[in-house]
Amino acid sequence: MPNTKSAERRTRNSARKRLQNRSVKSRLKTLERAYTEALKGDKKEVSTEAYRKLSSAFDKAAKKGVIHKSKASRRKSRLAVKLVAAK
């Protein structure tokens, strides 16, 4: 239980931000799953488009601070290697 008004406000903000961050992370996982499915299906155009969307989502999440920028970069790099290997 918060003791001050500012602590109460921080608690409310933290709860709101936690939900937003969880939503963004869930979206990243969904996009990554769609990307891996496209790679398994040997659909080059679909997988390229899925990679483009996923890469953009990683960049946006890193920009907002949901994930670290290095983590976003590392994940994008590893997914790009998979895309090149599939082609």
Residue-range domain boundaries for the chain: 5-86
What distance in Å separates the CA atoms of residue 49 and residue 21, rounded to the nearest whole number? Answer: 24
pTM of model > 0.75: yes
pLDDT at 12 over 90: yes
pLDDT band at 23 (very low <50, low <70, confident <90, very high): very high
pLDDT digits (tens, 9 = 90+) for 57-85: 999 999 999 999 999 999 999 999 999 99
50 closest CA partner among 41, 61, 39, 42: 39
Across the range 40-47, mean pLDDT stands at: 89
Fold annotation for 5-86: Methane Monooxygenase Hydroxylase; Chain G, domain 1 (1.20.58)
